[in-house]
Structures are given as C-alpha cells and as structure tokens.
C-alpha cells in the first residue's frame, strides 16, 4: 500500500495465475497448456515477420487474423473481435457489456478471473451454485440479470453444457448478453458460434492458448453480432489500439489456416485424456466427465492438498484450488503420454 495509489487500487483482489516455474525438468500439468507445439506453419509465419518491418506499428484492426477466423467459422469479419489473449477479450466484454443495474450471473465454480473483473469494473455479481453433480442448471439462470457468463466446457470441472441447453439460456434472457467462454471447446464440444446469427445477445470467446498451442503468443477471439463486437472495439480503441503485434497476427492467422495439424493434435489430447481418466479411476479417483484438455478428480480417502504437495516433491505439478466445494479436487492438465504416465506412476506411490 502506498500513498500514491488511487483509492480503488487498495480494494482490488487480483487474479492469481497458475505457477510458471523456472525449472524445465518438471512435468507441468497445472495450467492447461497444450503438450504439443504450435503448427509448424504458424511458427514459420511468425518467423517471417521478424524483419525490418518491426519498426512499423502492426495493423490496429488485425484484418488478416479476423479474415482467417471468419473463414474458419463461416461468419463475417464484422462479427469477429481479436485481443491479447482471451483474458483481454473477456475484460473488454465485462467493461463494455456487463455493467448494468441487474447483477452478472455466473457459476459458483468457474473461471476465477470473472469475480476479479467484476471488482475491477465495479460490476455487481451473483454466483449461481452448480448442482450436486457440478453441472450448470439452466433454470437457475432464468432470473433478472445484467448478463450471464460461463466457460463451456466449464473450468475447472471440465463439464460440458450441450448446445440445446445454451439455446434455452439465451431464450430465457433475450435482453442481456450471454457470453460463452469456449477456452476448451475444441477438446470435445460443439461451438456455440453456430448460434450467433440466430441470437443477437450471444457472444462466444475462444483462445489460441489451448487447442492451438499458442499460450505464449497471447491471442484470443470473440464472435457475435456486429453490435456486440462494436462495443468491444470501442473499449479496445479507448485502451490500446495495437493489442496484437505483427508476430501474433501472422502466427494466429496461420494457426487457424492449418486445420489438419489442429485436428490431429486435438485428437491426440482427447485420446490421452481417456487414458488418464482410466488410469485415475484405476487408482480409486472419482473423475468428473471432461470435454476439456484437463480432468478434475478427487480421491475418496486422500487429501487433495497433500496429494498436490506429494506430486510436486516428485516433479509433477497440478492445480489445487483452496475453494469451498472443490478443495478435495485436483485439476490435472493432459500432457504427453510420457508425462501422463509419470503422473500416474507418482500418484500410485502416494
């Protein structure tokens, strides 16, 4: 605390990111990165940008990337927004679309950045409990609200809400924005982007950090009605007009264009997930049904914090949340087959 701070800074409760350790030998299964590298075509496209042109600002509108996303999803470019990671896209959505008289609704167990953005932008929130099976109950959201947001699949549970349930949600709240945060959708769900032409109140965000293995590049997207996109553009152009650099625009566009590599690596992660689920179940864990690149698991007799510490001692890091209802769960990212085996081997001894 310092006398130089603006008064509101002292009350901020910032997000705490998962650990990014400096040691490289660790089996790092704590922040849901992709164990396979980005598309070689994306890497080549980024390398081609490393030249004298870096003295020039990038395209403030990232038109090349918006076109690649529009082509990929069969939408118009004015339905696409891009930002510096989906965290930034989400921040602009909170700022530009969720500050109303009624509270923003989101699940009690979901992405822990949502309450942080509420604090940052002074947005009233109401957390809606997941049911006993850790599923979203659509009926619980049919109440006055200034917006609804949830990850699909949910994080950190990994559970998927089917598209027909999302349609019911949209129909129940036609006067507020429903934001579906699809950070993990490519590992087992159907994107709600298919619904954006039908529902002007739907905004879908995605990230290139997971299924396209570009967490280090920081690129996220939003797709929705042009009016929603315009709100995000207005915020962006009042904050930072060049959020994506030249490498990011080129690399992200090439990643969307390389469908074959994307599909192959997603399938590898999905196949490995099923191996990890079976392995964990074999060790007595209960594993929630996951459509993501991580699993959420608890052991009936073993304390989750103790397990996380024991894993860490042997070089495997997973994520443990000290939060009510989920304090006995571990969130484990899916790694390479070797990393997954190392995880199961260490757990067997704990």
Contact set with ligand PLP (CB under 6 A): 32, 85-87, 111, 151, 155, 181, 183, 207, 209, 215, 220
* Comparison of 209 and 347: residue with beta carbon closer to ligand PLP: 209
The residue (of 15 and 242) whose beta carbon lies closer to ligand PLP is 15
Min dist. Cβ of residue 183 to ligand PLP (A): 4
3-state DSSP assignment of residue 136: coil
Q: Which is nearer to ligand PLP, 155 or 346 (CB)?
A: 155
CB closer to ligand PLP out of 35 and 151: 151
Q: Minimum CB separation from ligand PLP for residue 207, in Å? A: 3
The span from the CA of 329 to the CA of 156, in Å, is: 10
Pair of tokens at residue 334: 């899916």
Give 117 or 285: the residue with its C-beta nearer to ligand PLP. 117
Structure token pair of residue 310: 């024991």
As measured in angstroms, the least distance from the Cβ of 91 to ligand PLP is 10
- Considering the complex, what minimum distance in angstroms separates the CB of residue 100 from ligand PLP? 22
Residue 44 has a CB neighbour count (10 Å cut-off) of 12
Structure tokens at 282: 């074999």
Q: Is 216 helix (H, G, I), strand (E, B) or coil?
A: coil
Q: How far is the CB of 111 from ligand PLP (least distance, A)?
A: 4
Cα dist from 243 to 59, 89, 273, whole Å: 10, 10, 34
- The two structure tokens encoding residue 177: 């924005």
Q: What does the alpha-carbon distance between residue 137 and residue 161 come to, in Å, rounded to a whole number?
A: 9
């Amino acid at each position: 605390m310092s006398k130089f701070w603006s008064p509101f800074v002292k009350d901020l409760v910032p997000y705490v990111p998962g650990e990014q350790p400096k040691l490289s030998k660790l089996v790092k299964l704590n922040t849901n990165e992709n164990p396979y590298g980005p598309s070689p075509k994306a890497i080549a496209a980024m390398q081609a940008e490393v030249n004298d042109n870096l003295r020039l600002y990038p395209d403030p509108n990232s038109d090349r990337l918006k076109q690649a996303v529009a082509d990929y999803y069969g939408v118009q470019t004015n339905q696409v927004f891009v930002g510096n990671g989906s965290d930034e896209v989400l921040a602009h959505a909170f700022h530009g679309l969720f500050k109303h008289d009624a509270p923003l609704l989101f699940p009690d167990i979901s992405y822990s950045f949502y309450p942080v953005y509420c604090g940052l932008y002074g947005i009233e929130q109401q957390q809606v409990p997941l049911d006993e099976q850790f599923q979203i109950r659509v009926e619980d959201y049919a109440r006055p609200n200034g917006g609804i947001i949830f990850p699909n699949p949910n994080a950190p549970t990994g559970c998927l809400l089917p598209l027909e349930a999302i349609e019911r949600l949209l129909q129940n709240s036609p006067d507020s924005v429903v934001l579906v945060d699809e950070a993990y959708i490519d590992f087992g769900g159907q994107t709600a982007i298919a619904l954006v032409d039908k529902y002007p109140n739907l905004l879908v965000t995605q990230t290139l950090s997971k299924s396209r293995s570009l967490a280090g590049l920081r690129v996220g997207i939003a797709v929705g009605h042009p009016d929603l996109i315009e709100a995000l553009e207005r915020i962006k152009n009042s904050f930072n007009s060049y959020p994506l650099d030249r490498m990011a625009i080129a690399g992200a566009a090439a990643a969307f264009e390389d469908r074959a590599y994307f599909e192959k690596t997603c399938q590898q992660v999905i196949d490995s997930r099923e191996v990890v689920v079976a392995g964990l179940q074999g060790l007595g864990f209960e594993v929630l049904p996951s459509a993501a690149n991580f699993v959420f698991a608890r052991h009936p007799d073993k304390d989750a914090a103790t397990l996380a510490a024991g894993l860490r001692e042997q070089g495997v890091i997973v994520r443990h949340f000290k939060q009510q209802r989920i304090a006995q769960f571990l969130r484990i990212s899916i790694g390479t087959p070797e990393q997954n085996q190392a995880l199961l081997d260490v757990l067997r001894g704990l």
